[in-house]
Amino acid sequence: MLRNVLLAVAAACIGVSAASAQGAGANFPSKPIRVIVPFPPGQSADIIVRLLADKIKKQSGATVVVENKPGGNAIIGASEAARARPDGYTLLMAGTTAMSAAASMNANLPYDPVKSFTPVTGVALNSYVLVVKPDYPANSVQDIVELARKSPGKLSFGSGNQSSRMAAELFKTMTGVELLHIPYQGTEQAMSDLVNGQITMMFNGVMTSNPYLKRKDLKALGVSSQAREPELPDVPVIGDTVAGYSFIAWQGLVAPAGVPRETVATLNRLFTDALKDGEIYARLNGLGMTVWPVSQEELGKVIAEDKVKWRMLVTKAGIPVVQ
């Protein structure tokens, strides 16, 4: 008799839990969705999320709140997102820096790019451009290679994040040149020192490089994509000189591990609908970004593959791994 009563109570509890889960899925989102951006305001990830937040509000009425948590090459923001409740109300604007480069250069991250997160959707792809001062005695990628070979370790490159560094490290390993790495806390500081002649060169995103190029504060020698960039049609592809070279940084949204599939599906739909809007598409393309509204599964595949690929590059380049 007691056993039958316990079974009945358990069945009732399961039914209530299932009904609650279905109700939560049907009503999601019922409060603002927080997106952690692990970079300062004004950088590409921040700009993109704010554009999407405005569009989502207009399309569905859902509220998206941007919270900047810079520091530690995106590790601080990513760590906070990984610890958040897996209810779909906290997301991370993830990308190559936090999920690929950081995982390759740090032995004891407080999160695992694959196990700690649930992929939601891809957002954008970003090419890099090799930039130097306008009066620097190099007018092509080949010029840089030749100067570096004549003076091993004398030419320096700055990096404001780990993606920027990885683009340069890939260039180093494929050309066999020695370059001196100068790390910075952020892109703006690195670009400022480049303009002032404190460093030789930098691999920087097309989006954040464009203002410097338009003001002629810097000149572009090559782009990291496999084809010329629409925003920089006169700048050749680095791969034309360094056969096989290609570097594309990605940005996407992830949630803490364990978010229910129906919630992830709703999030994917909210953000991909915004990304497919003509206005957003035009804005991002105009900023030198490629819209990338891929599925949860495809983003997960990229994260897993990058974890292996960039670890191999770190090993080949002889980059010390932080223990």
Q: What is the pLDDT of residue 11?
A: 43
Tell me which DSSP letter residue 221 carries. E
pLDDT > 90? residue 134: yes
Closest CA to 203 of 233, 228, 227, 225: 225
pLDDT > 80? residue 3: no
pLDDT in tens, 139-190: 999 999 999 999 999 999 999 888 899 999 999 999 999 999 999 988 889 9
Q: For domain 32-124+249-317, is the CATH number 3.30.2350.10?
A: no
Tell me which DSSP letter residue 30 carries. S
- What residue ranges of the chain are covered by domains with CATH 3.40.190.10? 127-240
Q: What is the pLDDT of residue 150?
A: 97
pLDDT band at 201 (very low <50, low <70, confident <90, very high): very high
How far are the Cα atoms of 212, 229, 231, 253 from residue 217, in angstroms, in the given order?
Answer: 5, 20, 17, 33
Q: How many C-beta atoms lie closer than 10 Å to residue 114's C-beta?
A: 15
3-class SS of residue 103: helix
3-class SS of residue 179: coil
Q: Are 69 and 77 in contact (CB under 8 A)?
A: yes
Q: Are 256 and 91 in contact (CB under 8 A)?
A: no
pLDDT band at 68 (very low <50, low <70, confident <90, very high): very high
pLDDT band at 25 (very low <50, low <70, confident <90, very high): low
pLDDT > 90? residue 291: yes
59 phi/psi in degrees, rounded to 5 = -80, -40
Q: What is the pLDDT of residue 226?
A: 92
Residues in Cβ contact with 305 at an 8 Å cutoff, skipping those fewer than 6 apart: none
Please state which of the four CATH numbers 3.90.1150.10, 3.30.70.270, 3.30.9.10, 3.40.190.10 is assigned to the domain occupying 127-240: 3.40.190.10
Q: At what angle do helices 261-275 and 44-60 cross, to 10 degrees?
A: 100
Please work out, in degrees rounded to the nearest 5, the angle formed at the alpha carbon of residue 43 by the alpha carbons of 158 and 190.
20
Residues in Cβ contact with 245 at an 8 Å cutoff, skipping those fewer than 6 apart: 170, 171, 174, 224, 238, 239
201 versus 3: the higher-pLDDT residue is: 201
- What residue ranges of the chain are covered by domains with CATH 3.40.190.150? 32-124+249-317
Lowest mean pLDDT: which of 4-18, 119-133, 239-253?
Answer: 4-18
Q: What is the pLDDT of residue 23?
A: 35
Q: What is the pLDDT of residue 15?
A: 44
Closest CA to 53 of 95, 99, 91, 97: 91
156 versus 105: the higher-pLDDT residue is: 156
* Mean pLDDT, rounded, for 269-273: 97
* Mean pLDDT, rounded, for 267-280: 96
* Mean pLDDT, rounded, for 116-140: 97
pLDDT > 80? residue 210: yes
